[in-house]
Amino acid sequence: MKQTEQDLRLSDFNSYEDYLNSLIDGKSLQYFGDRENLISLYRTGYRALTKEAFEAQKTFLQVTKDPNTLFSRNITPSDPFLQELAERERPNRLGILSTIIYMRCLKRNTEISGYIDYEEALRRVHQDQQYCNNWKAIFAGEQVLYPTPVDLLYYNAKTDRSRRNNTRNYQILCDPHHGIIFRNMFDRKNIHPNPLASFYGTNTSRIEIASDLYEQVVLYDHVVRKNY
């Protein structure tokens, strides 16, 4: 989706050292005194990205400049669900399409269900970030995509644990009549995931996919009408 100001700043730095040096100002030096101590503190991730996160984000930004360089490129997924995700990867990363994934699955004999913001999940590739995704391995069928506590909605039936998280693409709303609603933050349109509804939102369609990997998989595709 649309790049943030922080994303654009990272594009300006040729190296991690340049990035760290840009964070140092007079106020920081006033509190910490020594420049080298301040740099060492930033390297730990204090008010800064770690080196691994910086390099991963730089790589992702480079990929988004070249939409043909995709995680699913040169991979032919065997599962119908992964085939559908591969088709949607490029338009989601370009911000033309915004897909929400609903899945219900068994993981270690425990039923887990949830809604995943596909574009945000594609971004979650930092190796030092919890619940990161190895998308090449997922598309190749070597790993399985599961809902996690950092996704839009998450529920673990065994522990009765549930989580809800707004993303930069969606705000979660609760309506007394319509239930859960996902509001797209770019065109302010609402997505209604109620399976019994006949209307899923403006410019939004719903497709249920038979998959050998999951108990149930549904994709909500929202065509984004940008305001710029």
For residue 30, pLDDT beyond 90: no
Q: How confident is the model at residue 25 (pLDDT cuts 50, 70, 90)?
A: confident
Q: What's the whole-number mean pLDDT along residues 41-56?
A: 81
Residue 51 confidence (pLDDT) above 90: no
Give the pLDDT confidence score for residue 199 in this predicted structure: 93
The Cα–Cα gap between 156 and 162 comes to: 6
Average pLDDT for residues 193-213, to the nearest whole number? 93
Angle 141-147-168 (CA atoms, 0-180°, nearest 5)?
110
Percent of the chain with pLDDT over 90: 51
Confidence band (pLDDT; 50, 70, 90) for 118? very high
Maximum mean pLDDT: which of 90-94, 146-150, 222-226: 146-150
Q: pLDDT band for position 124 (50/70/90)?
A: confident
Distance CA 107, CA 88 (A): 25
CB atoms within 10 A of CB 49: 22
SS (H, E, C) the chain: CCCCHHHHHHCCCCCHHHHHHHCCCHHHHHHHCCHHHHHHHHHCCCCCCCHHHHHHHHHHHHHHHCCCCCCCCCCCCCCHHHHHHHHHHHHHHHCCEEEEEEEEEEECCEEEEEEEEHHHHHHCCCCCCCCCCCHHHHHCCCCCCCCCCCCCEEEECCCCEEEECCCCCEEEEEECCCEEEEEECCCCCEECCCCCCCCCCCCEEEEEECCCCCCEEEEEEEECCCCC
pLDDT tens-digit readout, 167-195: 999 999 998 888 899 999 999 999 999 98
pLDDT, residue 66, reads: 58
Per-residue pLDDT at 104 exceeds 70: yes
pLDDT of residue 3: 47
- Per-residue pLDDT tens digits for 58-90: 766 665 555 556 889 889 999 999 999 999 999
Q: Where exactly are the structural domains of the chain?
A: 5-65, 80-223
Average pLDDT over residues 159-165: 94
The structure tokens listed for 107 are 């993981």
